Amino acid sequence: MKLVFATHNIHKLREVQQLLPDSIELLSLNDINCFDEIPETGSTLEENAKIKADFVTQTYGLNCFSDDTGLLIDVLDGRPGVFSARYAGEGKNAQDNMTKVLNELENQTDRNAHFKTVIHLNWNGEPYVFEGIVEGEITHNQFGKGGFGYDPIFKPLGYDRTFGELSSETKNAISHRGRAVAKLVAFLGPTDHI
């Protein structure tokens, strides 16, 4: 079965494809010839996930899911949160975002944070929402080059290495996106949905 994942991000597509059974083949936005940057104008992760999935379903008439993820840091009142991708400003990259976070937490001892992923699935005319969270803390420096985004500065609870150092298999097993996708897979698993 083919299912659209409303993303242009090849890292995310690969990561999620690894978590799905072989019977589900993910199509990216590029695969359906959608080259639009869908504006993420929502003020919450839930709203942004819905906006992206609805755009594809309404424009192309396809079943589709989208995800929206944020890093929520306790002492920053949940920032960068919905602004995680562009926290250091438009045109800045992941390194700039990590540098900004490390600077903001320079004198902080409370470094608790969590990643949260919200998946919005439009399935045969009905919306479904799945959520995944991983708790952890922000390190004082960057460690590892794996993953993407804030991975080198996020140490999941119970581990002594960052997501940037852990293997993709380990990260997928415990991550925010892994947990949300597991709920999506559990939903898609029974054949009576397909």
Binding mask 137-176 for ligand IMP (x = CB under 6 A): ----------xxxxx-----------x-----------x-
Q: Which stretch binds ligand IMP (CB under 6 A): 16-24, 69-77, 103-111, 124-132?
A: 69-77
| Pairwise CA distance, residues 56 & 28, whole Å | 11
Query: Residue type for 104, please?
Result: E
| Burial of 157: CB neighbours in 10 Å, binned 0-12, 13-18, 19+ | exposed
Choosing from 29, 53, 65, 67, the residue that interacts with ligand IMP (CB under 6 A) is 67
Residues 86-115 vs ligand IMP: string with x where CB under 6 A? --------x--x------------------
Name the minimum Å distance from CB 163 to ligand IMP.
6
DSSP letters along 21-45, please? -TT-EEE-TGGGT---------SSH
Instruction: Name the pairing type of β-strands 64-73 and 126-138.
Output: unpaired
Residues lying near ligand IMP in the complex (CB under 6 A) are found at 12, 67-71, 84-85, 94, 97, 147-151, 163, 175, 177
